[in-house]
Amino acid sequence: MTFAAIRKDPIINLSLYVLATTGTIVGMMQDWHGLVYVAKPSMLLILSVWFFYNSRRYGDRFTLLVQAGLLFSLVGDIALMFQHLDEFNFLIGLAAFLIAQLCYAMAFAQNAIDVGNIEGLWVSILIAVALLAYGFFFSFDLIKYLDDALLIPVVSYIVAILGMGIAAGFRFRRTFSRSFWMVFGGALLFIASDSLLAMNRFVRPIHLADLWVMLPYAGAQVLITAGCLEHVLDPEEIRRRQAIRA
């Protein structure tokens, strides 16, 4: 197998991703910072390379925004690795992930706009209402634990990640079913991971917090990446893009 084929192979890349995720969780739980410094950035690097080499032939605004989301997630992961050295790194990581959520949200919205039909719109609206209700009650409970310096950054991030989830919900019936459910499932896992992270950091410690935060986060990123590739590489979608460019 050539190196180019390895970079595109889903089994090899997902196996490497699971290995990097396992290393990250073990390193975090055992306070082995050296292992975390190697394994955690590897997670997003593996997904970014895998996505890039599979999607580059069909590159457009959608793939560019997804790639940007992966890149800023990598920056956020690196910043959060060093928050034990300087708390300001938490804000840097929060800002990077906020940008990542905006990139994902714009990619998903672009997908929905490109199709443009209103089939399944009521389902998307119900998803939006449910996520907004969750965000409101979660924020209402969380705000009283935040100091003034963190209030605006944290609330802004909550708005951004809810926007990402809502945008993923608006892909319902506007993309292929497998792609929708993978991406939407990833969005929900992302929200769950960050909710647990916020609870553990600001409200009360959670037993085995590193495990419960990292598992849904790892699942979120791989589902979003794989789900977006499902959309990009679907033969019908390839024909549609070729027809637009013709």
pLDDT tens for 44-93 read 999 999 999 999 888 789 999 999 999 999 999 999 999 988 889 999 99
pLDDT of residue 241: 60
Taking the complete model, does pTM exceed 0.85, yes or no? yes
pLDDT of residue 26: 97
Quote the CA–CA distance of 66 and 51 in Å, as a whole number. Answer: 9
Average pLDDT, the chain: 92
Model confidence at 19: pLDDT above 80: yes
pLDDT of residue 75: 98
Q: How far apart are the first and last CA of the chain?
A: 34
Quote the CA–CA distance of 105 and 133 in Å, as a whole number. Answer: 18
pLDDT of residue 234: 80
pLDDT of residue 120: 85
**Under 8 Å between Cβ of 99 and 72:** yes
Interval 29-44 mean pLDDT: 96
Please provide the size of the chain in residues: 246
**Under 8 Å between Cβ of 77 and 47:** no
Among 21-30, 31-40, 231-240, the minimum mean pLDDT is found in 231-240
Interval 148-164 mean pLDDT: 96
H-run or E-run covering 192: helix 177-198
Domain assignments of the chain as residue spans, ordered by start: 3-245
Q: Which two tokens mark 135? A: 């965000």
Tens digit of each residue's pLDDT (9 = 90 or more) over 119-142: 889 999 999 999 999 999 999 999
Quote the CA–CA distance of 246 and 238 in Å, as a whole number. Answer: 12
Q: What is the residue-wise DSSP string for 10-56?
A: HHHHHHHHHHHHHHHHHHHHHT-HHHHHHHHHHHHHHHHHHHHHHHG
